[in-house]
Structure 1
Amino acid sequence: MKLYGIKNCDTVKKARKWLDEQGIDYEFHDFKKDGLQSELLFRWEQAVGWETLLNRRGTTWRKLPEDVRDTIDAQSAYEIMLENPSIIKRPVVENGGDVRVGFSADEWSAWLA
């Protein structure tokens, strides 16, 4: 299992704590420290869609110019996420061939049971 996110993100902290408490081994990849490869982002987009990956609630989204936010599409979202990984909803988790975005203890309990 590989967990992607930003070390200081509260949701990532909750997810990591939950995984540790469950005794589930995982590898952590920090976007800010380790970067984000285009192939990885492409794979996630294919698995869950760009609309799921794009965090429209965060400050990175709100800092984008209004005209960019109003005209966002798959291509521009991909470019923005690649340039600003902090705009990706977190955490992103790969387990086998499965990709999940966000954290919910109940959903993860069922998913990883």
Structure 2
Amino acid sequence: MTIMYGIPNCDTIKKAKKYLNDNNVEFTFHDYRKDGISADLIEQFFAQLGWENVLNKRGTTYRALTDEQKSTLDENSAKQHLLDSPAMIKRPIIIHKEHYYLGFKAAQYDEIFGA
């Protein structure tokens, strides 16, 4: 079973979903805003992908942090920020056959899903 994590109005999520649908890959979509997110799930993401990779530093939510918040970020404070603002999680995160993948690039998905 493939699970995609993200928020539905994200352009990258839309591209990733289109890719999966176009290539007949069955998946479940986990919407952080509707389905929620837990500290345990964030810890899994951190363990598999690295906390600095999971934190989306390009988004407006991250840019809204104060300079002090940004300069003192560590794994624990990042986890709290992601719990409070799931939009700050880099998207999408996909779990496929117990492997974790971050972001969307068609070539990467071709390798993952054998398209």
TM-score band, normalised by shorter chain: over 0.9
Measured in 1, the distance between the counterparts of 2:70 and 2:38 equals 23
1:1-113 alignment to 2 at 5 Å? 1-113=2-114
Measured in 2, the distance between the counterparts of 1:38 and 1:73 equals 15
What residue identity is the alignment partner of 1:63?
Answer: A
* Percent identity (aligned): 38
Alpha-carbon distance, 1:47 to partner: 0.3
Q: TM-score, normalised by structure 1?
A: 0.97
Check whether the contact 2:25–2:113 (CA below 8 A) recurs between aligned residues. no
Moved over 2 A (4+): none
- 5+ residue gaps, structure 2, are none
Check whether the contact 2:95–2:101 (CA below 8 A) recurs between aligned residues. yes
Alpha-carbon distance, 1:72 to partner: 0.7
Measured in 1, the distance between the counterparts of 2:35 and 2:112 equals 27
Measured in 1, the distance between the counterparts of 2:38 and 2:86 equals 10
Q: SS where residue 36 of structure 1 aligns?
A: coil
Measured in 2, the distance between the counterparts of 1:50 and 1:89 equals 10
The size of the alignment, in residue pairs, is 113
Q: SS where residue 93 of structure 1 aligns?
A: strand
Q: Could you say what the CA RMSD is over the residues aligned between the two structures, in angstroms?
A: 0.7
